[in-house]
Amino acid sequence: MSQDVALDHVTMRFGSVTAVRDVSLTIAAGEFFSFLGPSGCGKTTILRMISGFMEPSDGRIRIGGRDMRGIGPNKRPTALIFQNLALFPLMTVADNIAFGLEVRGVAAADRRRRVRELLELVALPEVADKKVTELSGGQRQRIAIARALAVEPAVLLLDEPLSALDLKLRQHMRAELRAIQRRTGVTFVYITHDQGEALTMSDRIGVMSRGVLEQVGDGQTVYDDPATAFVASFVGEANRFPGTVLDAADGRAAVDTPFGRLLGRNPRGLKAGDRAILFVRPERLAVAPDGTADNRVEARVSHRDFEGAFVNAFLTGAGDRRIVVQMPHLGSEPAFVPGAAATLTFRPADAVVLPPDGEA
Amino acid sequence: MTGVLHRYGPVLTGFIVLVVALWVVMLVVLPQILMIDFSLRPMLPPSRVGGPEDVYTLANYMTLWTNTIHLGIFVKTIWASALVTAVTLAVCYPMAFYLAQVAPKRRLPTFMMLLVIPFWINEILRTFAWYIILAYSGPLNNLLVGIGILDAPVRFQGDGSVILGMVYAYILFMVFPVYNAIESLDRHQIEAARDLGAGWLRIHWRIVLPHARPGIAVGCIMTFMLAAGSYAVPLLLGGPQSRWFTEVIYNWFFEGGNWNQGAAYAFILLVLCIGFILLMMRLFRVGLTDIAK
């Protein structure tokens, strides 16, 4: 039985510091929602407010339509998976999973049956009698999930649970988490600073910066149509060309940059004279064989990183500005000899013009 | 051992070992052997020491079991010490939990100072302070009579005041081990239990207490040993009916002049305390290595 989570003008202040500023958002029942942002952006504070360990200074949190004010974490229909998992080291795996059921007065036989089911769900049927300390990192991860799901929460809250795992395991656990979420249908609220995690797992992502929810949308929207300069630079790599808007028409804006006049989409409706930054993704830049395109950037190759499937070329242009170009390694890409001059081009549709941070 | 040898070289290692061995032999082993020897011989006038009557016997150890008054005091000392231990734990556990998990870190030094400052004063003086507070015409009686709770002053001196005085005297020996144990508990463990629906009682019973077990065992052992071996507190705060076994031992040595008998009594108390330690370790399922931490 999953439920929706509604944040209604939620603000959290610690003394003079505002950790979360006026966040309003509804996470649908059964959705996999991620809060993405750098550390200190307020995402963990939001999670702790939803779980009940903190009360918002202002605003309401509703779960399944019920106002959660004054309801402690032990009475909320949520379960939290901690960053360090917080499994109980003195109990066996089975006792860990059964803890929430024990609290609810479930009979021993039913507890055992439920523990078996949950261990099946997380694909670890053999470990019930082991100690938590005998498990590997990935196994512990799954036990933490099983323990949280044992109480049949309407909302599962996850606080960067994969951050302690190595890369391979992390990628495997992403798929696993997503599969468990689909199978159980529980609303997942996931906290991460890793955009890869957020993009691959989530139905929707809320990008946060300094306590403000900058943008909410599915992964592709957030990546392709960032709403703010912060989102454009935090989610994925982006080349920045700051300048002043020369003229704006038909949803496009021309920006006067150190590289000359560059044209991009203008979703925020900036007007001539506004300060602006034009963002272009590294993979949307091309090396021009001729000189006919709208947007031309002259630069000089400084070095090249070979990543296998991709080649990243680092160039410097006017005013020592760094530019990154990413190309698939097809064998036909330019050599990017250090010191060589290159003309980069991009389509106006592949660039977005946004106001600088703190001026929107 | 090889580690020490490697770190300090043969000369320094030899010196350290020698000093430690000397310390153990001269200050621990020899006096104890002497006392065991005393306890196993009858008391004789100096002229007959070494004579035909000076033989090894268990007679001194048997005295306690035939002297009902001493046996009564012995039994009472044991259970009263156990009671002191239990009360001290009951007082210290909430305090240790508060300091370790609840109190803001910046306030911690203040709280610690408040706990430690009274212990800068000699134990006898501290106990004497209680003696004055609890006196028949002391401030506590005056206060209670003054605000009308009591009609007339009460004689507090007795078992109750002895236990009170000891709990006060040994609080630190319980607070610090328990504090250390609880302090090492990851706060997320408590939050996880709470998040899974547990109330405070269950969180303490299932999460905090099991984690603090070694610390509680150490605190209980120290408090019990100190209480059972206490002399000043029962002497000052006890009434005529609340004598402590240590007072009986003292009397054998310095008033009866019977060192042999006193030594035997002291060893019975020692054996009992060792028994208590083993029992506590069994009860709390902790090993020596847990305690050494």
Instruction: Give the residue-averaged pLDDT of B213-221.
Output: 90
For residue A355, what is the DSSP state? P
**pLDDT of chain A along its 360 residues, tens only?**
678 899 999 999 998 899 999 999 999 999 999 999 998 889 999 999 999 999 999 999 999 989 999 898 999 999 999 988 999 999 999 999 999 999 998 999 999 999 999 998 888 888 888 998 899 888 898 899 999 999 889 999 999 888 878 888 888 888 888 988 988 889 999 999 988 889 989 999 999 999 999 999 999 999 999 999 999 999 988 999 999 998 888 888 889 888 888 889 988 888 888 899 999 999 998 887 665 667 888 888 888 888 888 889 899 887 778 899 998 888 887 878 888 888 888 888 889 999 988 644
CB nearest A86 (choices: B191, B197, B198): B191
Q: Say how far apart CA A1 and CA A152 lie, in whole Å.
A: 8
pLDDT at A290: 62
Residues of A within 8 A of B195 (CB-CB) are: 51-53, 73-74, 78-80
Closest listed residue to residue A155, CA positions, set A130, A179, A190 = A190
**Poorest-confidence range of A95-104, A332-341, B225-234, B263-272?**
A332-341
Question: Pairing between strand A322-328 and A310-316?
Answer: antiparallel
B189–A84 CB contact, under 8 Å: no
Judge whether A14 is closer than 8 Å to chain B, CB to CB. no
Q: A5-229, superfamily in CATH?
A: P-loop containing nucleotide triphosphate hydrolases (3.40.50.300)
pLDDT at A359: 47
Question: CA angle, corner B242, sides to B240 and B247, nearest 5?
Answer: 90
Give how far B199 is from chain A: nearest CA, Å.
Answer: 7
Alpha-carbon distances, residue B181 vs A88, A184, B75, B277 (angstroms): 15, 39, 32, 19
Interface probe with B: pick from A53, A97, A103, A132, most Cβ of B within 10 Å: A103
E-state strands within chain A: 5-14, 17-27, 32-36, 58-63, 66-67, 78-81, 155-159, 187-192, 204-209, 212-217, 239-249, 252-257, 260-265, 275-280, 286-287, 295-306, 310-316, 322-328, 341-346, 351-354
Residues of A within 8 A of B202 (CB-CB) are: 103
Q: Could you tell me which residues of chain B have a Cβ less than 8 Å from any Cβ in chain A? A: 186, 188-189, 191-199, 202, 206-207, 210-211
Q: Say how far apart CA A90 and CA B207 lie, in whole Å.
A: 8
pLDDT at A292: 62
B195–A88 CB contact, under 8 Å: no
The domain spans of chain B are 62-292
A74–B202 CB contact, under 8 Å: no
pLDDT at position B240 over 50: yes
Q: In CATH terms, is domain A237-354 a member of 2.40.50.100? A: yes
Per-residue model confidence as pLDDT tens digits over B71-90: 888 888 888 899 999 999 99
Question: CA angle, corner A290, sides to A285 and A292, nearest 5?
Answer: 80
Interface probe with A: pick from B195, B208, B290, most Cβ of A within 10 Å: B195
Residues of B within 8 A of A147 (CB-CB) are: 196
pLDDT at B291: 65
Residue of chain A with shortest Cα separation from B200:
A74
Per-residue model confidence as pLDDT tens digits over B87-145: 999 999 999 999 999 988 898 899 989 888 888 888 888 888 888 988 888 888 889 88
Give how far A47 is from chain B: nearest CA, Å.
Answer: 12
Residues of B within 8 A of A100 (CB-CB) are: 196-197
SS3 A52: coil
B192–A104 CB contact, under 8 Å: no
Assigned token pair, A158: 């996850």
Q: Which positions 66-125 of A are in contact with B (Cβ < 8 Å)?
A: 72-75, 78-80, 82, 84, 86-88, 90, 99-100, 103-104
Confidence of residue B253 (pLDDT cuts 50, 70, 90): confident
| Order of strands, sheet of A310-316, starting from the edge strand that comes earlier in the sequence | A286-287, A341-346, A295-306, A310-316, A322-328
The domain spans of chain A are 5-229, 237-354
pLDDT at A279: 94
CATH of range B62-292; options 1.10.3720.10, 1.10.287.610, 3.30.365.10, 1.20.1560.10 = 1.10.3720.10
Average pLDDT value for chain B? 87
Per-residue model confidence as pLDDT tens digits over B92-102: 999 999 999 99
Residue of chain B with shortest Cα separation from A73:
B195
Q: Say how far apart CA B109 and CA B70 lie, in whole Å.
A: 46
Residues 6 or more apart whose CB falls under 8 angstroms from that of B98 comprise none
Residue of chain A with shortest Cα separation from B211:
A90
Judge whether A202 is closer than 8 Å to chain B, CB to CB. no
Q: Residue B284's CB: how many other CB atoms inside 10 A?
A: 19
CB nearest B202 (choices: A53, A73, A103): A103
Residues 6 or more apart whose CB falls under 8 angstroms from that of A61 comprise A5, A6, A7, A8, A10, A49, A50, A67, A68, A69
B195–A103 CB contact, under 8 Å: no
Residue of chain B with shortest Cα separation from A156:
B195
Pairs of CB atoms within 8 A across A/B: 55
Report whether A73 contacts A51 (CB < 8 A): yes
